[in-house]
Amino acid sequence: MANVLGREPPIPRLNKEGRWVVRVKSKTFVEHCERCIAVFLRGFFDSEGCVSTNGQIFVDNTDYALLTHVLYL
Ligand SMILES: [Zn+2]
């Protein structure tokens, strides 16, 4: 991430469950290349989407700006 974003590497922190966590926010990282866009969309639809019995795909989210960006991607 640090190489792609041209930033200092994020500093990992230990969470309450004893797992190391790194958080990075960046539109640039999501749009780095087609593979990064695909990975982001796959994760977004895995977490926010569902498939109806007739095969239609739905996605729900309360963040209008995020949904607009997903449409753009
Ligand atoms: Zn990429």
Closest to 26 (Cα-Cα) out of 48, 42, 2, 44: 2
Question: How many A from CA of 7 to the centre of ligand 1?
Answer: 16
Question: What is the spatial distance between Cα 51 and Cα 2, in angstroms, rounded to a whole number?
Answer: 36
Calculate the average pLDDT of the chain: 90
Phi, psi angle pair for 50, to nearest 5°: -155, 165
Taking each continuous run of H as one helix and of E as one strand, the counts in the chain are 4, 4
pLDDT in tens, 2-34: 887 788 888 899 999 999 998 887 777 788 899
Question: What is the spatial distance between Cα 41 and Cα 25, in angstroms, rounded to a whole number?
Answer: 15
Question: How many A from CA of 35 to the centre of ligand 1?
Answer: 5
Q: What's the predicted TM-score (pTM) here?
A: 0.67
